[in-house]
Chains A and B, each alone.
Chain A
Amino acid sequence: GAGVSQSPRYKVAKRGQDVALRCDPISGHVSLFWYQQALGQGPEFLTYFQNEAQLDKSGLPSDRFFAERPEGSVSTLKIQRTQQEDSAVYLCASSLAGSPRPAGYTFGSGTRLTVV
């Protein structure tokens, strides 16, 4: 597609509910990244894929967070048993280049998750 597409755009979840956030990267982009952006803060790294391989998941805050990209294209970030501190905007970004030469990321519009 023309850009990185994320869905849903907004999600309200009751505390304890499981949620799944979807990211459609730009076609052909090798690298895919998930970031969490709290209100008034910079994006914080969660996890990174190169094709279908999850190369780094060091930023996932707990074992309630899980991400996958089974066919090297669409990715899903799943949060189990959501808690209020999970409320944030979840940004997905993709990049044409794989390591070691970095390139600019193209971000999606994000999913704003509110846990009530």
Chain B
Amino acid sequence: GENVEQHPSTLSVQEGDSAVIKCTYSDSASNYFPWYKQELGKRPQLIIDIRSNVGEKKDQRIAVTLNKTAKHFSLHITETQPEDSAVYFCAVSGGNTPLVFGKGTRLSVIA
């Protein structure tokens, strides 16, 4: 089955700096790659997703890049703010298979 590795497990950045979280996956048939943000005690919320037919997608301060050849994708957050502090999960799906999640990255933005 699909195996998703996420790094780093924790990340601390100064407010205004950029944060990058990386995920690798094992199944070359995977074609959908969402990112979720989960604040303490709350539900995971979809923040951005990308499909295998594009290499990059951007939404304001958040971007995701995908390298299908190398089977890895990354979340980029620019101009970080304290409210970006949360746990971020990458996930992978092969279309008719349920999402497989990474173990998460705890991001702390220090004011």
Chain A residues within CB distance 8 Å of chain B: 33, 35, 40-45, 48, 56, 91, 99-102, 104-110
Contact = CB atoms under 8 A, between A and B. Distances in A.
27 contacts: A33-B98, A33-B99, A35-B101, A40-B104, A42-B6, A42-B101, A42-B103, A43-B101, A44-B101, A45-B98, A45-B100, A48-B98, A56-B97, A91-B43, A100-B95, A100-B96, A102-B31, A102-B95, A102-B96, A102-B99, A104-B34, A104-B46, A105-B34, A105-B46, A106-B46, A108-B43, A110-B43
Contacts of A109: 42-43
Contacts of A108: 43
Given A42-B104, A43-B101, A102 B43 contact: no
Interface of B: 6, 31-32, 34, 36, 42-46, 49, 89, 93, 95-104
B43 A101 contact: no
A101 B95 contact: yes
Contacts of A56: 97-98
Residue from B99, B101, B103 with most neighbouring chain A CB atoms (10 Å): B99
Contacts of A91: 43-44
Contacts of A100: 95-96
Given A42-B89, A42-B102, A42-B104, A107 B44 contact: yes
A10 B108 CA distance: 27
B96 A45 contact: no
A107 B45 contact: yes
Nearest to B31: A102
Nearest to B46: A104
A104 B44 contact: no
B104 A105 contact: no
A97 to B, nearest CB: 10
Residue from B32, B95, B101 with most neighbouring chain A CB atoms (10 Å): B101
A44 B3 CA distance: 12
